[in-house]
Amino acid sequence: MQNVWYNIMRGYLKIGLFFLHKNITVLGKENIPKKGAILFIGNHQNALIDAILIPTTTKRNIHFLTRASAFTNKLVSDFLKSLNMIPVYRIRDGVNTIEKNLKVFEQCFEILKDEKAIEIFAEGAHHLKRQVMPLKKGFARIVLGTLQKYPDLEIQIVPVGLNYDSHLNFPSSVSVYYGKPIVANNFIDVENPGTRFSEILNEVSSALKKLTLHIEDTANYDKIIAELNAHKVDYTKPLEAYKLLEKIETNSIKPMPKKRKINWFTPIHLLAKLNSLFPLLIWRKLKSTIKDLVFTNTFRFALIVTIFPLFYLIQTGIVYYFFNLKYAIIYLVSCIVLGVISKKTMNVSL
């Protein structure tokens, strides 16, 4: 029954992501082992959107570690746990965080022992930088603890590069790059474990930097981003972005002239907005209250899977009440068609 509920919600969230993003491209799915214990480790630039992109682009049943602050409400906590989310605690969550995390680690050991999958964002926090931040040791400790308890178990790490053309705008595009699996056992000495885990951290970090754009030059980061944007970089294609970055750094590329494009679908966009006026007003109010900008698309996604469909269903009911079922169905289908056309043809905007 748990798997049925998980698959139903995964399917529904996948539909929500379809309407959130202009394009979702998935590459390297052949690198995902069909069975066995796996740690999916990705870069973390878009809050909850990162967390649900991986489970919705692979057939593996995934458990994922989520900040404990999301579990404060009991109803919300029960719902999140039903979707295989596991609360992980930080120092700011209280004095008993270490003891609580030990229980979390034990839970992860058993999940891996059962040859299931766990998703971890090893940078430790989300951010808007096009960089792979230094990785935390948590995932290495989970590997070590599992192997100490189950030494014959093989654990594979699948690095995941998440690449957004825009982190905050709508409708953004995203590519998900699954890298070749890394056998974690080769980097962990169960008999004489170290505490720095430098080898496995470096291996995973290096793999992530090949799957997503990593701008090493922190001092000139803003200038480099401006140059990349001026040359119309496609961040969803990291290999092409790296080639463009190299040309910019060697001054072997000329700036591209700005071209103004006419969007012939603008009337359809306006019609879609008029049809969604009430939910858009809610979004406008909600957006002004977001303190951490990284959560912008998370809140936008929450409205897409709740308020927007509810509003269209209410409107459909009103049409049915005043007219008949035929016109109600036509209206509902029109809402879906307008949404798809707008999402596919709209230029990204806040």
Mean pLDDT of the chain: 90
Residue 131's pLDDT band (boundaries 50, 70, 90)?
very high
Q: What is the mean pLDDT of residues 196-222?
A: 94
The Cα–Cα gap between 208 and 28 comes to 13
Q: What is the mean pLDDT of residues 39-47?
A: 94
The Cα–Cα gap between 98 and 100 comes to 5
Q: Which residue has the tokens 């022992």?
A: 113
- Specify the pLDDT at position 195: 73
- Specify the pLDDT at position 151: 93
Q: What is the mean pLDDT of residues 166-181?
A: 94
- Specify the pLDDT at position 94: 61
For 242-282, write each residue's pLDDT tens digit.
999 988 877 766 666 666 778 888 899 999 999 999 999 99
CB neighbour list of residue 30: distance below 8 Å, 6 or more residues apart: none
Q: Would the pLDDT of 316 be above 90?
A: yes
CATH of domain 2-211: 3.40.1130.10
Distance of CA 56 to the CA centre of its chain: 10
Helices (DSSP H) in the chain: which residue ranges? 2-20, 47-53, 74-82, 97-113, 138-149, 198-211, 221-230, 238-249, 266-275, 277-287, 296-304, 307-322, 325-345
For the chain, what are the domain ranges? 2-211, 266-345
Q: What is the mean pLDDT of residues 147-170?
A: 95
Q: Would the pLDDT of 32 be above 80?
A: yes
Q: Would the pLDDT of 334 be above 60?
A: yes
State the pTM of this model.
0.92
